[in-house]
Structure formats: C-alpha cells, structure tokens
C-alpha cells in the first residue's frame, strides 16, 4: 500500500490527469518525474491534481516546472489544480514562490482540464 500515490487518470480522453496524493519530497520526486514523463508522452494536455496532496517541497516544484517547460515546448497544455481549500503544506510554497499564476494553478479538476485542453496546440477543435 502506498500512502503517497501518484497515478495517471485518462478518463478525460485528450487530457491526462496526474493525481498526486499525500506528502511528496525528494524521495518521491523521481516517481513524480516518471509519471509526468509518461503523461507528456501521451501527447495531449496535462493536469497535475494536487487536491489531495498534503505536502510538496521544492523538489516537487522542480519536477512540475520541468514538465511545464517541456509541455509548452511541445505545445501541450499544462495546468496544476487544487481543491477549494489547500493544505498549508501545499499552499504556502505556491504562495511564497509566486508560482500560482505561472504554473498556472486553478481551482477544480474540471476547470483545469478545460484550460489544459484549450491552451495546447494538441487540442482538438
């Protein structure tokens, strides 16, 4: 059993959601990078869902920023989403690094999927 799972959810079809739960730091960052690589490899938009994450450190931000950069280079949408309320261990680092508008971070998975779908070139339409 993994208390800190990172799984891909491709129920949205052209946008894959990387669901990150629990605490994540330098120990789990390599796994996050693998999952993000896998998501990028699908070729569509990417949403990283931190709704059920309780702690992320700068190793995680590094993985997210690398994935964002590669997604933008490949014209794939990239969006991070959170729930209505954020754990302090997630909100604080996003706030003080000023990354909310940069990543970007939006509230709600459905809204994030819409943004990821409409910002990448890979979007159908």
Q: Which residues bind other proteins (CB under 8 A)?
A: 23, 25-27, 29-30, 33, 55, 57-59, 61-63, 65-66, 68-69, 72-73, 87-89, 92-93, 96-99, 101-102
Distance of closest approach, residue 110 Cβ to other proteins, in angstroms: 25
Specify the residue, 1 or 11, whose C-beta has the smaller distance to other proteins: 1
Phi, psi (rounded to 5 degrees) for 111: -65, -40
Q: Measured between alpha carbons, how far is residue 4 from residues 11, 77, 101, 104 in Å?
A: 21, 25, 26, 23
Distance (Å, whole) CA 88 – CA 92: 6
Specify the residue, 8 or 54, whose C-beta has the smaller distance to other proteins: 54
Omega prior to 106 cis, within 30 of 0? no
Distance of closest approach, residue 31 Cβ to other proteins, in angstroms: 11
């Amino acid at each position: 059993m993994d208390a800190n799972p990172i799984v891909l959810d491709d129920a949205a079809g052209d946008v894959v959601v990387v669901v990150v739960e629990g605490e994540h730091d330098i120990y789990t960052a390599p796994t996050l990078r693998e999952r993000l690589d896998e998501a990028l490899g699908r070729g569509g938009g990417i949403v990283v869902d931190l709704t059920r994450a309780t702690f992320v450190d700068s190793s995680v931000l590094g993985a997210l920023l690398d994935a964002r950069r590669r997604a933008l280079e490949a014209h794939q949408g990239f969006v991070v989403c959170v729930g209505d309320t954020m754990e302090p261990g997630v909100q604080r680092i996003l706030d003080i690094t000023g990354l909310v508008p940069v990543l970007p971070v939006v509230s709600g998975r459905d809204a994030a999927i819409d943004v990821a779908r409409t910002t990448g070139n890979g979007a159908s339409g």
